[in-house]
Amino acid sequence: MVMNLTTPGKIRNLQRKLYCKAKAEPTFRFYLLYDEICREDILLHAYRLARVNAGAPGVDGMTFARIEEQGLEAWLAGLRVELVSKTYRPDPVRRVMIPKANGGERPLGIPTIRDRVIQTAAKIVIEPIFEADFEDNAYGYRPARGAVDAVKEVHRHLCRGYADVVDADLSKYFDTIPHSELMKSVARRVVDRNVLRLIKMWLRAPIEERDADGARRMSGGKGNTRGTPQGGVASPLLANIYINRFLKHWRLTGCGESFQAHVVSYADDFVILSRGRAAEALAWTKAVMTKLGLTINEAKTSLRNARQERFDFLGYSFGVHRFEANGNWYLGASPSKKSVKRLKTRIGDLLVPSNIDPWPEVCDKLNRTLRGWSNYFGYGSRSKAYRSVDQYVFERLRRFLARRHKVQGRGNRRFTFDVIHRELGVLCLQRLPRAVPSCALR
């Protein structure tokens, strides 16, 4: 089924009107939004967006293929009836644990497709209102913004001399957002009680977990007073609404001037870049986060002097770098060691002896992995990381092909650099167009 993801004109006009109204009148509160969420065209567009994002089934096991097989139009009509009659209740959220880069696990909540579509419809309607309020230094989960924009902003501030850094980490931000305070933040703009009721139901949806034996365990529900499950469509927007309290308070209290500092935020991940006042900025931030019911992770939060040491943010490593040509130092941004290691692990997992997929499929997967990584890590000083990845790909691929073709030894003669990259079509990162590097230290 081919999906058209272009936002229909009528929906785009509604979003533009809501945004302009919110931007022009910062204290205006919106009353009549629920009927817009129930619109047939908005529900259909929400389904298309959810469909493209794919994702695993929720607790009911329903898939997009089954919905379309049974009749999408009737399914959406049934959803609309539930909303209009206000009989809609969310299903439990299926919780799975996904591995984190540091070796731990992160809980991921998977709503049913039915709930994902309704959450998407609500997001279509209310997101423009809150977009008008969000601070300019917030980059996470926002339209026309991304992590690389945040990376560039951090680098710009470093190059302007804001090199005393608070490398901050919030403890389990998504899991600890207090519902009562979050709903106050939402209600400052949205006072349609039916929309608020939807959000409350999603926040308090029961969570279903299954152990190794398949036994079902339920948690959360009406007694739950904190957290918005990662994995839900509405969660990133709600998380942004709440962290915006901190960012707005920073601006309104003049902290930028007091601490000679800038904050760059990506959802729950943020750094503060200062000129000599980082310790004071951190003390202030801890106090404000406590008032918001949030906690700074002491073990993962540190003060850094970027002119002497590096810090990582959004997969990049910032701080002192050296020009290979002349040995001079400069303040740069490059793919972090952890990011390079994770990529190599993914490549290693693909090029295992047990992979008997046809070569075109293997090559396509490998190239998509490399291109996706390079699309994100295409900013700043990338030569060293690209060279390391290319060398790893070349060595792993040569051994992989030698085993597959039963070539004796390591395949050095048969699978040369030119054979692998020119004849077999494997992407070489170092041959991609180069970016102009950063600012030299004086």
Q: Which of 144-153, 228-237, 248-257, 295-304 shows the lowest per-residue confidence on average (mean pLDDT)?
A: 228-237
Number of domains in the chain: 1
In a domain, 91, yes or no: no
DSSP state of 421: I
Is the pLDDT reported for residue 436 higher than 50? no
Mean pLDDT of 58-74: 93
356-370 per-position pLDDT tens digit: 999 999 999 999 999
Mean pLDDT of 52-70: 91
132-189 per-position pLDDT tens digit: 999 999 999 999 899 999 999 999 999 999 999 999 989 999 999 999 999 999 999 9
**110: nearest Cα among 124, 89, 96, 90:** 96
Top mean pLDDT of 205-209, 344-348, 436-440 is at: 344-348
| pLDDT score, position 109 | 84
| pLDDT band with cut points at 50, 70 and 90 for residue 15 | very high
224 backbone φψ class: left, alpha, beta (φ>0; ψ -120 to 50) = beta
**344: nearest Cα among 373, 317, 318:** 373
In a domain, 405, yes or no: yes
In a domain, 376, yes or no: yes
In a domain, 85, yes or no: no
Q: Which of 33-42, 93-102, 119-128, 228-237 shows the lowest per-residue confidence on average (mean pLDDT)?
A: 93-102
In a domain, 43, yes or no: no
| pLDDT score, position 440 | 46
In a domain, 69, yes or no: no
Q: What pTM value is reported for the model?
A: 0.90
Q: Which of 57-71, 132-146, 186-200, 405-419 shows the lowest per-residue confidence on average (mean pLDDT)?
A: 405-419
91-148 per-position pLDDT tens digit: 999 888 777 666 667 778 889 999 999 999 999 999 999 999 999 999 999 998 999 9
In a domain, 21, yes or no: no
Is the pLDDT reported for residue 438 higher than 70? no
Q: What percent of the chain lies above the pLDDT cut of 70?
A: 94
DSSP states along 252-280: HTTHHHHTTEEEEEETTEEEEEESS-HHH
* Domain span at 410: 336-431
Q: Given the DSSP bridges, would you call strands 105-110 and 93-99 parallel, antiparallel or unpaired? A: antiparallel
In a domain, 261, yes or no: no
Residue 369 buriedness (CB in 10 A; 0-12 / 13-18 / 19+):
middle
User: Residue 362 in 3-state DSSP?
Assistant: helix
